Structure 1
Amino acid sequence: MSTWEVVVTTVAAEFSDINDVEQTTRVCLRLTLAAILGGILGIERESQGKAAGLRTHMLVALGAALFVLSADPTGEVNDAMSRVIQGVVAGVGFLGAGTILKSESLANVRGLTTAAGLWLTAAMGVAVGLGQEIVAILATVLALITLHVLPLLIEPKTGEETEDG
């Protein structure tokens, strides 16, 4: 075997982690759906002028799905997968903590909704990565209702500070 053939064979072997059409399709669909669902929440946050917008939410959902898919593309939940999910949750918790700003007054804390939205976005990415697409879509719809519709129903009291994420 020539050196060139060894190089080609080695490169082909390195990129053979997805070895059939069904698995390739599943991975592509899951990663794309995670990015889309994260993007939907990101668009809502960006339209409200929040720092964590479209790209941040897309990347969080995509990253969470990728961690799960990398651990097991079939979405089987086992002890190893449980540890992966715990790591994603902890990591996104740190990311969310960076969005929370507290002033001198305890009544004036900003960024809690954004932090919670990033946390939820990661959970949606995990759900998609595990193959629970309908659960993730339902969570996205409920999040949109929570973020966009509920504030219209609840008027803040005059003169009171509100946490607007």
Structure 2
Amino acid sequence: MTAPRGNELRDVLPEDNISPPKILIGEGFEIRPSRIKAYKPTGAPAYFYDVFTDDNTRVGIASLILEQDPQQVSEIGHVCARLSEEHDNPELLKQVGELLISHGHECGLSDIHIVVPEQSESVVTACESIGTTCNKAYFDRSGEKFVRFGYSAGGGV
């Protein structure tokens, strides 16, 4: 999954009034907040997390941008999750994605995007298996092919 680049983020300013993220608990894992940034184009909160198993082993990273306008994140997505190579598990990746999407909906996002390089077959498969995909679009960026998955709040995610 793609994530915002450093030049797309800035430190949080006092006037941003961004609430701290909460720990997200899944079945057999937790998504723990690690840092907060703001998405430069709009000032939306960008939460970064570490993914831990119940035995307190760090197995990956994740992020969630609480951007209301999906067009603003159409090339990077709202949600990103990556598992370490030694803990690569498509079912866990799917569950982490589902939990982040669900949390995004709880935070008021109606449509949430995940963007994946088209050649990342296992990640594409994981995204396809998340709830009901309201849309799936292909696009090119700088010669690379990507798939954008869209999940709506009423889509059963």
TM-score range (shorter-chain normalised) is 0.3 to 0.5
Instruction: State TM-score, norm by structure 2.
Output: 0.34
Highest RCO, 1 vs 2 (Cα 8 Å, sep ≥ 6): 1
Instruction: State TM-score, norm by structure 1.
Output: 0.32
Higher helix proportion, which one? Answer: 1
Which has the higher Rg, Structure 1 or Structure 2? 1
